[in-house]
Amino acid sequence: MTTTAQIRTRVRPAVVLTVLFAGAFVMGCAEMLVVGMIDLIAEDLAVSLSATGALVTANALGLAVGGPLLTFLTTRFDRRAVLIVSATVFLLATLLPALFADYALFLGVRVVVGAVQGLFIAAGMVTATAIVPPERSGRAMAVVISGFATASALGLPLGTLLGQTVGWRGSFAAVAAAAAVVLVLLIAVLPSVPTAESGRALGQARAAFAPRVLAVLSVSFLTFAAMLAAITYLVPFLAEVTGVSGPLVTVYLLLYGVSTTLGSALGGRFADQNAARMLVIGAVGVLGSLALLLIGGGHPWIVGLAVLGIGLFGMGTAPSIQHRVVALSGRGAPLAASLPASAVNAGIATGSLIGGLALDAGGASAVAVAGMAVATVAIVAAAASGRLRPPA
Protein backbone atom coordinates (compact mmCIF):
# COMPACT_ATOMS: atom_id res chain seq x y z
CA MET A 1 0.00 0.00 0.00
CA THR A 2 1.33 3.42 -0.98
CA THR A 3 1.81 5.73 2.01
CA THR A 4 1.31 9.50 2.07
CA ALA A 5 5.04 9.94 2.60
CA GLN A 6 5.71 8.00 -0.62
CA ILE A 7 3.10 10.07 -2.46
CA ARG A 8 4.77 13.32 -1.38
CA THR A 9 8.12 12.18 -2.81
CA ARG A 10 6.61 11.55 -6.26
CA VAL A 11 4.78 14.81 -6.97
CA ARG A 12 5.23 18.56 -7.04
CA PRO A 13 2.59 19.74 -4.56
CA ALA A 14 2.34 23.26 -6.00
CA VAL A 15 1.46 21.91 -9.44
CA VAL A 16 -1.17 19.47 -8.15
CA LEU A 17 -2.72 22.09 -5.86
CA THR A 18 -2.88 24.59 -8.72
CA VAL A 19 -4.79 22.11 -10.89
CA LEU A 20 -7.15 21.27 -8.01
CA PHE A 21 -7.74 25.00 -7.52
CA ALA A 22 -8.52 25.34 -11.23
CA GLY A 23 -10.98 22.44 -11.07
CA ALA A 24 -12.73 23.94 -8.06
CA PHE A 25 -12.85 27.34 -9.77
CA VAL A 26 -14.44 25.97 -12.95
CA MET A 27 -17.02 23.96 -11.00
CA GLY A 28 -17.80 26.99 -8.85
CA CYS A 29 -18.37 29.08 -11.98
CA ALA A 30 -20.87 26.52 -13.31
CA GLU A 31 -22.69 26.59 -9.97
CA MET A 32 -23.02 30.39 -9.95
CA LEU A 33 -23.78 31.05 -13.62
CA VAL A 34 -27.52 30.55 -13.27
CA VAL A 35 -27.65 33.31 -10.64
CA GLY A 36 -26.08 35.85 -13.00
CA MET A 37 -28.14 34.87 -16.07
CA ILE A 38 -31.45 33.86 -14.52
CA ASP A 39 -33.46 36.27 -16.69
CA LEU A 40 -31.76 35.16 -19.92
CA ILE A 41 -32.33 31.47 -19.15
CA ALA A 42 -35.96 32.01 -18.16
CA GLU A 43 -36.72 33.87 -21.39
CA ASP A 44 -34.95 31.36 -23.63
CA LEU A 45 -36.54 28.29 -22.02
CA ALA A 46 -39.95 30.01 -21.68
CA VAL A 47 -40.25 29.32 -17.95
CA SER A 48 -40.81 31.59 -14.95
CA LEU A 49 -38.04 33.16 -12.92
CA SER A 50 -39.01 30.99 -9.94
CA ALA A 51 -38.72 27.86 -12.09
CA THR A 52 -35.29 29.03 -13.25
CA GLY A 53 -34.35 29.64 -9.64
CA ALA A 54 -35.09 25.97 -8.99
CA LEU A 55 -31.96 25.23 -11.03
CA VAL A 56 -29.93 26.79 -8.21
CA THR A 57 -31.80 24.70 -5.64
CA ALA A 58 -31.22 21.53 -7.69
CA ASN A 59 -27.47 22.16 -7.74
CA ALA A 60 -27.41 22.76 -3.97
CA LEU A 61 -29.40 19.60 -3.25
CA GLY A 62 -27.16 17.59 -5.53
CA LEU A 63 -24.10 18.87 -3.67
CA ALA A 64 -25.54 18.48 -0.17
CA VAL A 65 -27.03 15.01 -0.64
CA GLY A 66 -25.47 13.54 -3.77
CA GLY A 67 -21.91 14.55 -2.90
CA PRO A 68 -21.66 12.48 0.32
CA LEU A 69 -23.60 9.63 -1.29
CA LEU A 70 -21.23 9.41 -4.28
CA THR A 71 -18.24 9.72 -1.96
CA PHE A 72 -19.57 6.79 0.08
CA LEU A 73 -20.12 4.67 -3.02
CA THR A 74 -16.64 5.40 -4.41
CA THR A 75 -14.72 5.17 -1.16
CA ARG A 76 -12.75 2.05 -2.17
CA PHE A 77 -11.42 3.61 -5.37
CA ASP A 78 -8.20 5.53 -5.86
CA ARG A 79 -8.78 9.27 -5.41
CA ARG A 80 -7.03 9.96 -8.73
CA ALA A 81 -9.62 7.90 -10.59
CA VAL A 82 -12.45 9.53 -8.65
CA LEU A 83 -11.25 13.04 -9.51
CA ILE A 84 -10.84 12.22 -13.20
CA VAL A 85 -14.26 10.54 -13.48
CA SER A 86 -16.01 13.35 -11.58
CA ALA A 87 -14.37 15.96 -13.83
CA THR A 88 -15.43 13.99 -16.92
CA VAL A 89 -19.06 13.73 -15.79
CA PHE A 90 -19.03 17.43 -14.87
CA LEU A 91 -17.78 18.33 -18.36
CA LEU A 92 -20.53 16.35 -20.09
CA ALA A 93 -23.27 17.55 -17.73
CA THR A 94 -22.25 21.20 -18.17
CA LEU A 95 -22.22 20.90 -21.94
CA LEU A 96 -25.69 19.34 -22.25
CA PRO A 97 -27.74 22.47 -21.41
CA ALA A 98 -25.80 24.42 -24.02
CA LEU A 99 -26.75 21.88 -26.70
CA PHE A 100 -30.36 21.00 -25.85
CA ALA A 101 -33.22 23.41 -25.06
CA ASP A 102 -35.08 21.36 -22.47
CA TYR A 103 -35.90 22.60 -18.96
CA ALA A 104 -36.48 19.15 -17.44
CA LEU A 105 -33.12 17.94 -18.76
CA PHE A 106 -31.44 21.09 -17.42
CA LEU A 107 -32.97 20.54 -13.98
CA GLY A 108 -31.78 16.93 -13.82
CA VAL A 109 -28.33 17.90 -15.07
CA ARG A 110 -27.97 20.47 -12.30
CA VAL A 111 -28.50 17.77 -9.69
CA VAL A 112 -25.77 15.69 -11.33
CA VAL A 113 -23.42 18.70 -11.52
CA GLY A 114 -23.92 19.40 -7.80
CA ALA A 115 -23.33 15.76 -6.87
CA VAL A 116 -20.07 15.40 -8.81
CA GLN A 117 -18.98 18.79 -7.46
CA GLY A 118 -19.39 17.44 -3.92
CA LEU A 119 -17.48 14.30 -4.92
CA PHE A 120 -14.68 16.41 -6.42
CA ILE A 121 -14.42 18.48 -3.22
CA ALA A 122 -14.06 15.37 -1.04
CA ALA A 123 -11.54 13.64 -3.30
CA GLY A 124 -9.68 16.91 -3.83
CA MET A 125 -9.33 17.47 -0.08
CA VAL A 126 -7.95 13.98 0.49
CA THR A 127 -5.50 14.39 -2.39
CA ALA A 128 -4.42 17.87 -1.26
CA THR A 129 -3.60 16.71 2.26
CA ALA A 130 -1.84 13.57 1.00
CA ILE A 131 0.76 15.55 -0.98
CA VAL A 132 1.84 17.99 1.75
CA PRO A 133 3.30 17.55 5.25
CA PRO A 134 0.68 17.32 8.04
CA GLU A 135 1.53 20.80 9.35
CA ARG A 136 0.49 22.31 5.99
CA SER A 137 -2.76 20.38 5.51
CA GLY A 138 -4.94 23.37 6.43
CA ARG A 139 -3.31 25.52 3.77
CA ALA A 140 -3.65 22.72 1.23
CA MET A 141 -7.38 22.45 1.95
CA ALA A 142 -7.68 26.23 1.69
CA VAL A 143 -6.38 26.09 -1.89
CA VAL A 144 -9.30 23.89 -2.97
CA ILE A 145 -11.81 25.97 -0.99
CA SER A 146 -10.38 29.18 -2.49
CA GLY A 147 -11.18 27.88 -5.97
CA PHE A 148 -14.89 27.94 -5.19
CA ALA A 149 -14.68 31.27 -3.38
CA THR A 150 -12.83 32.85 -6.29
CA ALA A 151 -15.55 31.60 -8.64
CA SER A 152 -18.08 33.66 -6.69
CA ALA A 153 -15.87 36.74 -6.68
CA LEU A 154 -14.58 36.65 -10.26
CA GLY A 155 -16.15 33.80 -12.20
CA LEU A 156 -19.73 34.96 -11.61
CA PRO A 157 -19.34 38.51 -12.97
CA LEU A 158 -17.11 37.37 -15.85
CA GLY A 159 -19.46 34.54 -16.80
CA THR A 160 -22.45 36.86 -16.59
CA LEU A 161 -20.75 39.38 -18.85
CA LEU A 162 -19.92 36.64 -21.33
CA GLY A 163 -23.51 35.40 -21.21
CA GLN A 164 -24.86 38.86 -21.98
CA THR A 165 -22.48 39.03 -24.94
CA VAL A 166 -22.80 35.58 -26.54
CA GLY A 167 -25.88 34.20 -24.76
CA TRP A 168 -26.22 31.97 -21.72
CA ARG A 169 -25.53 28.85 -23.78
CA GLY A 170 -22.25 30.30 -24.95
CA SER A 171 -21.31 30.99 -21.35
CA PHE A 172 -21.95 27.36 -20.36
CA ALA A 173 -20.04 26.17 -23.43
CA ALA A 174 -17.07 28.29 -22.32
CA VAL A 175 -17.17 26.68 -18.85
CA ALA A 176 -17.28 23.25 -20.51
CA ALA A 177 -14.22 24.16 -22.59
CA ALA A 178 -12.38 25.24 -19.45
CA ALA A 179 -13.44 21.96 -17.80
CA ALA A 180 -11.91 20.04 -20.70
CA VAL A 181 -8.57 21.79 -20.13
CA VAL A 182 -8.74 21.00 -16.41
CA LEU A 183 -9.52 17.35 -17.17
CA VAL A 184 -6.40 17.04 -19.32
CA LEU A 185 -4.30 18.62 -16.56
CA LEU A 186 -5.78 16.31 -13.92
CA ILE A 187 -4.84 13.27 -16.00
CA ALA A 188 -1.33 14.64 -16.46
CA VAL A 189 -0.42 15.66 -12.88
CA LEU A 190 -2.53 13.76 -10.34
CA PRO A 191 -0.74 11.12 -8.27
CA SER A 192 -2.29 7.84 -7.19
CA VAL A 193 -3.93 8.22 -3.77
CA PRO A 194 -5.39 4.82 -2.81
CA THR A 195 -7.83 4.32 0.06
CA ALA A 196 -6.44 2.42 3.04
CA GLU A 197 -7.85 -1.06 3.61
CA SER A 198 -9.12 -0.01 7.04
CA GLY A 199 -11.01 2.86 5.49
CA ARG A 200 -13.62 1.03 3.40
CA ALA A 201 -17.20 2.20 3.10
CA LEU A 202 -19.02 1.05 6.24
CA GLY A 203 -16.12 1.75 8.57
CA GLN A 204 -15.72 5.20 7.04
CA ALA A 205 -19.42 5.94 7.43
CA ARG A 206 -19.40 5.11 11.14
CA ALA A 207 -16.36 7.30 11.72
CA ALA A 208 -17.50 10.15 9.43
CA PHE A 209 -20.90 10.47 11.14
CA ALA A 210 -19.59 10.16 14.69
CA PRO A 211 -21.15 12.64 17.17
CA ARG A 212 -17.92 14.60 17.49
CA VAL A 213 -17.85 15.18 13.71
CA LEU A 214 -21.52 16.19 13.60
CA ALA A 215 -20.88 18.64 16.44
CA VAL A 216 -18.20 20.45 14.43
CA LEU A 217 -20.38 20.40 11.32
CA SER A 218 -23.08 22.17 13.33
CA VAL A 219 -20.64 25.06 13.82
CA SER A 220 -20.29 25.44 10.07
CA PHE A 221 -24.06 25.20 9.62
CA LEU A 222 -24.70 27.93 12.20
CA THR A 223 -21.91 30.25 11.04
CA PHE A 224 -23.06 30.25 7.42
CA ALA A 225 -26.72 30.52 8.43
CA ALA A 226 -25.81 33.67 10.38
CA MET A 227 -23.94 35.12 7.41
CA LEU A 228 -26.62 34.39 4.82
CA ALA A 229 -29.49 35.61 6.98
CA ALA A 230 -28.13 39.10 6.28
CA ILE A 231 -26.17 38.73 3.03
CA THR A 232 -29.09 37.16 1.12
CA TYR A 233 -31.04 40.36 1.69
CA LEU A 234 -28.16 42.80 1.38
CA VAL A 235 -29.73 44.53 -1.63
CA PRO A 236 -32.98 45.51 0.18
CA PHE A 237 -30.92 46.45 3.26
CA LEU A 238 -28.81 48.79 1.15
CA ALA A 239 -31.92 50.33 -0.42
CA GLU A 240 -33.99 50.76 2.76
CA VAL A 241 -31.38 51.44 5.44
CA THR A 242 -28.24 52.69 3.68
CA GLY A 243 -29.88 54.53 0.81
CA VAL A 244 -27.73 52.81 -1.82
CA SER A 245 -29.19 51.46 -5.07
CA GLY A 246 -28.37 51.02 -8.73
CA PRO A 247 -24.81 50.29 -9.91
CA LEU A 248 -23.32 50.99 -6.47
CA VAL A 249 -24.93 47.81 -5.16
CA THR A 250 -22.54 45.86 -7.38
CA VAL A 251 -19.62 47.33 -5.44
CA TYR A 252 -20.89 45.82 -2.20
CA LEU A 253 -21.56 42.45 -3.83
CA LEU A 254 -18.08 42.44 -5.34
CA LEU A 255 -16.62 43.41 -1.96
CA TYR A 256 -18.34 40.43 -0.37
CA GLY A 257 -17.04 38.12 -3.08
CA VAL A 258 -13.48 39.36 -2.67
CA SER A 259 -13.68 39.10 1.12
CA THR A 260 -14.76 35.44 0.94
CA THR A 261 -11.85 34.69 -1.38
CA LEU A 262 -9.38 36.36 1.00
CA GLY A 263 -10.98 34.67 3.99
CA SER A 264 -10.68 31.19 2.53
CA ALA A 265 -7.06 31.80 1.52
CA LEU A 266 -5.94 33.30 4.83
CA GLY A 267 -8.00 30.83 6.86
CA GLY A 268 -5.78 27.94 5.83
CA ARG A 269 -2.82 29.26 7.80
CA PHE A 270 -4.95 29.75 10.93
CA ALA A 271 -6.36 26.24 10.48
CA ASP A 272 -2.83 24.82 10.65
CA GLN A 273 -2.06 26.84 13.78
CA ASN A 274 -5.24 26.13 15.77
CA ALA A 275 -8.36 25.15 13.87
CA ALA A 276 -10.59 24.89 16.96
CA ARG A 277 -9.70 28.41 18.08
CA MET A 278 -10.26 29.79 14.58
CA LEU A 279 -13.85 28.53 14.61
CA VAL A 280 -14.53 30.63 17.72
CA ILE A 281 -12.74 33.68 16.30
CA GLY A 282 -14.65 33.38 13.04
CA ALA A 283 -18.05 33.16 14.73
CA VAL A 284 -17.21 36.12 17.00
CA GLY A 285 -16.05 38.08 13.94
CA VAL A 286 -19.30 37.37 12.10
CA LEU A 287 -21.30 38.47 15.14
CA GLY A 288 -19.28 41.70 15.44
CA SER A 289 -19.62 42.42 11.71
CA LEU A 290 -23.39 41.91 11.83
CA ALA A 291 -23.59 44.23 14.84
CA LEU A 292 -21.60 46.82 12.88
CA LEU A 293 -24.03 46.39 9.97
CA LEU A 294 -26.97 47.02 12.28
CA ILE A 295 -25.49 49.98 14.16
CA GLY A 296 -23.85 51.71 11.19
CA GLY A 297 -26.37 50.73 8.53
CA GLY A 298 -27.00 54.35 7.59
CA HIS A 299 -23.37 54.97 6.67
CA PRO A 300 -22.23 53.45 3.33
CA TRP A 301 -18.57 53.07 4.29
CA ILE A 302 -19.41 51.36 7.62
CA VAL A 303 -21.71 48.96 5.76
CA GLY A 304 -18.79 48.24 3.43
CA LEU A 305 -16.58 47.35 6.42
CA ALA A 306 -19.34 45.16 7.85
CA VAL A 307 -19.79 43.28 4.56
CA LEU A 308 -16.02 42.83 4.34
CA GLY A 309 -15.94 41.43 7.88
CA ILE A 310 -18.82 39.02 7.32
CA GLY A 311 -17.13 37.47 4.30
CA LEU A 312 -13.61 37.54 5.75
CA PHE A 313 -14.42 36.00 9.15
CA GLY A 314 -17.16 33.67 7.93
CA MET A 315 -15.30 32.14 5.01
CA GLY A 316 -12.11 32.20 7.07
CA THR A 317 -13.61 29.36 9.13
CA ALA A 318 -14.04 27.08 6.09
CA PRO A 319 -10.50 25.59 6.11
CA SER A 320 -10.70 25.11 9.88
CA ILE A 321 -14.03 23.29 9.60
CA GLN A 322 -12.54 21.04 6.94
CA HIS A 323 -9.40 20.51 9.03
CA ARG A 324 -11.36 19.65 12.19
CA VAL A 325 -13.81 17.34 10.42
CA VAL A 326 -11.04 15.37 8.71
CA ALA A 327 -9.03 15.10 11.94
CA LEU A 328 -11.99 14.10 14.13
CA SER A 329 -13.27 11.50 11.67
CA GLY A 330 -10.07 9.41 11.76
CA ARG A 331 -10.33 6.61 9.20
CA GLY A 332 -13.57 8.14 7.93
CA ALA A 333 -11.69 11.14 6.50
CA PRO A 334 -12.26 10.34 2.78
CA LEU A 335 -16.04 10.35 3.31
CA ALA A 336 -16.09 13.08 5.97
CA ALA A 337 -14.28 15.43 3.59
CA SER A 338 -17.53 15.80 1.63
CA LEU A 339 -19.64 16.76 4.66
CA PRO A 340 -18.56 20.39 5.30
CA ALA A 341 -19.88 21.40 1.86
CA SER A 342 -23.23 19.83 2.77
CA ALA A 343 -23.28 21.68 6.09
CA VAL A 344 -22.45 24.97 4.37
CA ASN A 345 -25.23 24.52 1.80
CA ALA A 346 -27.71 23.61 4.52
CA GLY A 347 -26.63 26.70 6.45
CA ILE A 348 -27.04 28.88 3.37
CA ALA A 349 -30.57 27.60 2.77
CA THR A 350 -31.55 27.96 6.43
CA GLY A 351 -30.00 31.41 6.76
CA SER A 352 -31.87 32.63 3.69
CA LEU A 353 -35.12 31.32 5.18
CA ILE A 354 -34.48 32.92 8.57
CA GLY A 355 -33.52 36.21 6.94
CA GLY A 356 -36.67 36.16 4.79
CA LEU A 357 -38.89 35.65 7.85
CA ALA A 358 -37.09 38.47 9.67
CA LEU A 359 -37.44 40.76 6.65
CA ASP A 360 -41.20 40.17 6.47
CA ALA A 361 -41.63 40.64 10.22
CA GLY A 362 -39.40 43.63 10.98
CA GLY A 363 -37.99 45.14 7.80
CA ALA A 364 -34.49 45.20 6.38
CA SER A 365 -32.72 45.94 9.69
CA ALA A 366 -34.22 42.81 11.21
CA VAL A 367 -32.09 40.56 8.98
CA ALA A 368 -28.97 41.73 10.84
CA VAL A 369 -30.63 41.02 14.18
CA ALA A 370 -31.62 37.54 13.03
CA GLY A 371 -28.06 36.87 11.86
CA MET A 372 -26.67 38.04 15.19
CA ALA A 373 -28.93 35.64 17.08
CA VAL A 374 -27.72 32.69 15.02
CA ALA A 375 -24.08 33.83 15.29
CA THR A 376 -24.38 33.88 19.08
CA VAL A 377 -25.40 30.22 19.05
CA ALA A 378 -22.53 29.52 16.66
CA ILE A 379 -20.04 30.98 19.14
CA VAL A 380 -21.32 28.70 21.92
CA ALA A 381 -21.18 25.66 19.63
CA ALA A 382 -17.67 26.54 18.44
CA ALA A 383 -16.39 26.96 22.00
CA ALA A 384 -17.92 23.66 23.08
CA SER A 385 -16.57 21.77 20.06
CA GLY A 386 -13.06 22.99 20.85
CA ARG A 387 -12.82 20.34 23.56
CA LEU A 388 -13.32 17.50 21.09
CA ARG A 389 -10.28 15.40 20.24
CA PRO A 390 -9.53 13.00 17.36
CA PRO A 391 -9.94 9.25 17.97
CA ALA A 392 -6.90 7.33 19.13
Total domains, the chain: 2
Residues 115 and 25 in one domain: yes
Average pLDDT, integer, range 236-252: 86
Which of 109-118, 163-172, 233-242, 285-294: highest mean pLDDT? 285-294
Residues 234 and 379 in one domain: yes
- Of the candidates 27, 253, 345, which has an alpha carbon nearest to the alpha carbon of residue 159? 27
Q: Is residue 72 part of a domain?
A: yes
Q: Is residue 19 part of a domain?
A: yes
Whole-angstrom Cα distance, residue 46 to residue 39? 10
- pLDDT digits 0-9 by tens, 194-230: 876 555 567 778 888 899 999 999 999 999 999 988 9
Read off the pLDDT band of 334 (50, 70, 90). confident
Question: pLDDT exceeding 70 applies to what percent of the chain?
Answer: 94
Angle between helices 137-150 and 248-295 (to 10 degrees): 120
Q: Is residue 391 part of a domain?
A: no
Read off the pLDDT band of 353 (50, 70, 90). confident
pLDDT of 279 reads 96
Q: Given a cut of 60, is residue 35 above it in pLDDT?
A: yes
* Residue that terminates a domain, selected from 162, 195, 228: 195
Residues 248 and 146 in one domain: no
Q: What letter would DSSP give residue 100?
A: -
* Residue that terminates a domain, selected from 195, 219, 241: 195
Q: Is residue 314 part of a domain?
A: yes
Model-level pTM?
Answer: 0.79
Q: What is the mean pLDDT of the chain?
A: 87
* Residue that terminates a domain, selected from 138, 173, 195: 195
Cβ atoms within 10 A of the Cβ of 167, count? Answer: 16
Read off the pLDDT band of 24 (50, 70, 90). very high
Whole-angstrom Cα distance, residue 346 to residue 259? 21
Stated as kind and residue range, the H or E segment containing 153 is none
Task: Report the CATH number at residue 249.
Answer: 1.20.1250.20
Comparing 246 with 133, the larger pLDDT belongs to 133
Q: Is residue 390 part of a domain?
A: no
pLDDT of 341 reads 84
pLDDT of 148 reads 84
Residues 233 and 127 in one domain: no
**Residue 380, CB half-sphere, CA atoms under 13 Å: how many?**
6
Average pLDDT, integer, range 103-120: 93
Residues 163 and 224 in one domain: no
Residues 113 and 173 in one domain: yes
Range of the domain at 37: 4-195
Q: Is residue 358 part of a domain?
A: yes
Q: Is residue 50 part of a domain?
A: yes
